[in-house]
Amino acid sequence: MKSKLKISSIFLLIIISMFMIVGCSNNTESSNNDITKTKNVLNAARIMSDGSYQIRFSDLVELEALKEYNNKTVTALGYLSPIMGYDGSFGYLMNLPYQTCPYCLPSDTKITNTIAIFTEKGKPIDFTEAAVLVKGTLKLEPYTDEYGYSYNYRIVDVTIEKADTSELGEKITLYNKLAEKEILTRLMDTLYWVDENVYYDEYTANGYEYDRSIVDFTNLDAVISDLSEFNQDEVSILLNTANSLKEIGTKVNELTKNEEYEKIKEYKEITAQLFYKIGDWMSIYEL
């Protein structure tokens, strides 16, 4: 199987559409009154007990409003993207779980869906699906990272800890319980694997080099078993998606074994729909 971090072109389009729906903006102009209003509200509500300023994606913070916190300690709630720097010393904090598309909607004037985070040198980030609290020094300056993403804000010298779900509500508490079992990671690994077989022609035409392979459902079977321990109404989207993936993947495996590659293409639309379903589930846990 190819790396789980390879981004499906279908999934990329889905996530871009999702961010547009939930209101991410790339507007470059805002009235001074709006900025002042936002700043006043955030200053009153976001100063933590240790004196740090807390950034929240849901506020769509204006960078202008953050100038007074440049080079000062800030905290931010979010989810780690599974995409990390080559040495693990930096990554991306995002507003939705398990996002492999940092800066799909870049913005020079607002913190929208992504904040780049950098550790002290030699301290790699340990990925977790759980919601996390990041604390570090805010830097408002142009920067381009090793993946070619350019932005005007980042947090450096960060420490990362699991978020206190008692402050985030029952919804995120449930999500973090699922995260402890790495439900999403194992489910997405299998979905990407099936996706690679279904969209083989498209990926290889765009330069990816890999061979079709039979999907192993060990992780997926464990996911289905683990989900049975939760309230079925609360995890119905994930459970239905996992069962559908098992059914589709089994059929694709049979066609792969028989080298009936043209018939595999018939599963493109239904595979894409699974990404949509998981995207819908992710949107429930937006921070």
Q: What is the 3 state secondary structure string of the chain?
A: CCCCCCCCHHHHHHHHHHHHHCCCCCCCCCCHHHHHHHHHHHHHHHECCCCCEEECHHHCCEHHHHHHHCCCEEEEEEEEEEEECCCCCEEEEECCCCCCCCCCCCCCCECCCEEEEECCCCCCCCCCCCEEEEEEEEECCCEECCCCCEECCEEEEEEEEECCCCCCCHHHHHHHHHHHCCHHHHHHHHHHHHHHHHCHHHHHHCCCCCCCCCCCCHHHHHHHHHHCCCCCCCCHHHHHHHHHHHHHHHHHHHHHHCCCHHHHHHHHHHHHHHHHHHHHHHHCCCC
pLDDT reported for residue 50 = 78
Does pTM top 0.75 for this prediction? yes
pLDDT reported for residue 58 = 82
pLDDT in tens, the chain (287 residues): 444 444 454 444 444 444 443 433 333 333 334 433 334 334 445 777 777 888 888 887 888 888 989 999 999 999 999 999 888 899 999 999 988 888 876 666 788 899 999 998 778 999 999 999 999 999 999 999 999 998 999 999 999 999 887 777 888 889 999 999 999 999 999 999 999 999 999 999 999 999 999 999 999 999 999 999 999 999 999 999 999 999 999 999 999 999 999 999 999 999 999 999 999 899 899 98
pLDDT reported for residue 64 = 86
Please, what sign has the CA dihedral across residues 197, 3, 216, 240? negative
Class for the domain spanning 31-167: mainly beta
Contact 183, 282 (CB under 8 A): no
pLDDT reported for residue 45 = 58
Gap between the Cα atoms of 114 and 139, Å rounded: 14
Gap between the Cα atoms of 93 and 80, Å rounded: 5
pLDDT reported for residue 122 = 73
